[in-house]
Structures are given as structure tokens and as C-alpha cells.
Amino acid sequence: MNVVSAITGLPYVGKTTLFNLLTGAHASTGAFAGAEAETNVGVAKVPDQRVEELAALYKPKKITHAEIMYRDIGLARAEKPGQAISPQKLGDLRTADAIVHVVRAFSAPSVPHVDGSVDPVRSKGPEREMKEREKAVLRRAIAALAEERPLRDLDLDPDEEKAIRGFRFLTRMPVLVAVNLDEDDVAEPERVIAPVREAAKAHRASVVVPVSAKLEAEIAELPPDEAASFRRDLGLAEPALDRLIRATYELLGLCSFFTVGEDEVRAWTVPYGAPAQQAAGAIHTDLERGFIRAEVIGWQELLKAGSEANAKKLGVMRTEGKTYPVKDGEILHVLFNV
């Protein structure tokens, strides 16, 4: 499956800085980036050491990591409720699998703050504004339905029309809160993120991830070993990219399985525990349709055995049927017939 995450939040919280860090894009940031600008779209390669190790064994022609698509949805400051987001951007938000809500916990006096001061718990992002539009349309929808009138009866202007087309309740979408920290708080983020986590929990957005978008963007520019030692000095266990992507998998209940061979070593994303037949469909619909069985082995077991042939000889390669629940880190070899 192709996972799409929408990055959103108030202006000047570091959305675009984070987006650039994740996707390697160069979208403009800061005061002149224009909250009205188009949605930025980019792709992050899911970092996965297991893919590298499997590739070292197979030396394939091609290595393909799993990907997450990010949409950076910049918002203007609204004069009236509902004005903060265009129907286009609302659509970009709704059709995502998850929302990354960036809240600002860095001070930086030179960067304007739309609410006058830094408070990552208060930061409500754009949801409140969007709720107003939804609420207004929904009230009318409920009234119509209560009278047993079809929603077609409602006279809606084009914006309202879009607000309910393909309706998906924004406030039921899974949210990951990215707390954009002051550099001073990077080593010990707990003090800042604990209250955010409490507030988030109350609204069932339980995944809260600390980042320091600007600092990490700077580190990402360094050569790899310099970056690693810089991170160590700062007490940063791992890059924000890894942490954020892992949290996204956790939030959405996703896992990766692999296909291996001399042509390609590749990671695929499926819901954790997806039946083998459905997982095969991520590779190709033919494999799902004509699924016979799958040969399955854990990535570590395969590395230990040194080859599939040896794994078979050792009896560590299993044969599984259609309903076998696929787990994170397994290698699948699908036998099919169409």
C-alpha cells in the first residue's frame, strides 16, 4: 500500500522545514513561503537497515525501499472560520492516511508566532477552523436526514459541496503530533513533550514525536560520519526521519515484508498481520488472484542461513497458506498461478 501522510499545523511552526527534511525537497520556508502556496508533495524513503543487509547478501540490480508520501499543507491565517483552507487543500488532507500535526515548541524571536507566544499544547492547528465548516454543513445534513430528505435536497455552494463529498471525518483521522523543539531541549525533550502527550491523549492522538526540524535539517547536510558524531554529541539517538516514520507505521498499524532475489531486494508495506494472500496483492494483483502458497522466512533467519537453498535444507523456510498473518521483517516468496 502507498502510505500518504499530511503535514499540517499553524503557520511558522516548521511544517515545510520538516517536509524538506523528510523528502529531500527544497520548498521555500519562512516568512515569504506564503501559507497560501500550493501543497508541497514529496516522497520519503523508509529507512530500513534490514533492506541493506539483505541487499548485501543478494547484491541485486535494484534495491527498493518502502515509501511514504508526504503532503505539506500550508494554511493561511483565517479572517473568518472556514477561510483558512481551500477545498483543494481540504481534499489533500482528507485523502491522506494520517495527519502529522506539527506544533511549535521553539522560541526563535525572529520567527513570528501567530498566537503571540509559544505553547505547544494550545496549538490547535487548522482542525478547529475546518471543524467549523464541517459542523455547519453537517448540521444541515442532519436536519435534512431527520426529515428523511436525501442530502441531494441541500443547496450547497461549491465549497460546502466539496466539504461533504467523499466525506471523511477529519477528527477521526489518525494524528501524529510532531513537537518542533528548541535546540536546547533536544537532548531531554520529555519536559516539553509530556504535557503535549497528556493533551493529545485526551483526544486519542496518542503518538507524540519530538523533532527539531531546523537543527536536523542542518545535520542532514553533513557527511554521514560527521552527522553521526554530531548527533551523538547532541544526545540525538536517531534521525528525526527514522523516528517519525516508525511512529507513522505504529500509528497506522503497518509493517514491512520483503521480497528478495538477484534482480531486486524490496520492502513492501502492509497492515500488520495482513493475510498472506492480501500481502501478495501489494506486489501484484495477479499474485493475490492466483495465490497458491507462500514460502516464508524471517530476515534474520535467512541471513543466518546464508541462502534460501540452505534455509530450505535446514528446514527454517516455512510453507504458509492464504490466511497466514504476515509479520514485520518476514520474507515472502509467493507461488501463484493465473
Ligand X SMILES: Nc1nc2c(ncn2[C@@H]2O[C@H](COP(=O)(O)OP(=O)(O)O)[C@@H](O)[C@H]2O)c(=O)[nH]1
Residues near ligand X (CB under 6 A) are 11-17, 29-30, 33, 74, 106, 108, 111, 180, 212-214
Burial of 29 (0-12, 13-18, 19+ CB in 10 A): buried
Q: Which helix (H) or strand (E) holds 291?
A: strand 291-298
CB 130 within 8 A of CB 206: no
Q: Rounded distance, CA 149 to CA 142, Å? A: 10
Contacting residue, 8, 16, 20, 23, with Mg ion by CB under 5 A: 16
Q: Which is nearer to Mg ion, 33 or 179 (CB)?
A: 33
Query: Alpha-carbon Rg of the chain, whole angstroms?
Result: 23
Provide the minimum distance between the beta carbon of 15 and ligand X in the complex, in angstroms, as a whole number: 3
Q: Which is nearer to ligand X, 105 or 331 (CB)?
A: 105
Q: How many CB atoms lie within 10 A of CB 304?
A: 13
- Residue 113 binds: one of ligand X, Mg ion, none (C-beta under 5 to 8 A by kind): none
Q: Which is nearer to Mg ion, 33 or 296 (CB)?
A: 33
Q: Which helix (H) or strand (E) holds 7?
A: strand 3-8
Provide the minimum distance between the beta carbon of 10 and ligand X in the complex, in angstroms, as a whole number: 7
Helices (H), 152-189: 158-164
Q: Which is nearer to ligand X, 15 or 94 (CB)?
A: 15
Provide the minimum distance between the beta carbon of 164 and Mg ion in the complex, in angstroms, as a whole number: 27
C-alpha cell at 218: 542542518
Q: 53 to each of 44, 61, 239, 261, 273, how far by Cα in Å? A: 20, 15, 19, 13, 23
Provide the minimum distance between the beta carbon of 46 and ligand X in the complex, in angstroms, as a whole number: 22
Q: Which is nearer to ligand X, 213 or 279 (CB)?
A: 213
Provide the minimum distance between the beta carbon of 17 and ligand X in the complex, in angstroms, as a whole number: 3
Q: Which is nearer to Mg ion, 8 or 256 (CB)?
A: 8
Residue 305 near Mg ion by CB under 5 A: no
- Residue 180 binds: one of Mg ion, ligand X, none (C-beta under 5 to 8 A by kind): ligand X
Q: Which is nearer to ligand X, 65 or 243 (CB)?
A: 243
Contacting residue, 9, 20, 46, 74, with Mg ion by CB under 5 A: 74
- Residue 98 binds: one of Mg ion, ligand X, none (C-beta under 5 to 8 A by kind): none
Provide the minimum distance between the beta carbon of 26 and Mg ion in the complex, in angstroms, as a whole number: 12
Q: Which residues contact 209 (CB under 8 A, 6 or more apart)?
A: 176, 177, 178, 179, 240, 243, 244, 247
- Residue 108 binds: one of ligand X, Mg ion, none (C-beta under 5 to 8 A by kind): ligand X
> Residue 326: phi, psi to the nearest 5?
-75, 135
Helices (H), 235-267: 240-252
Binding-site ranges for Mg ion (CB under 5 A): 15-16, 33, 74
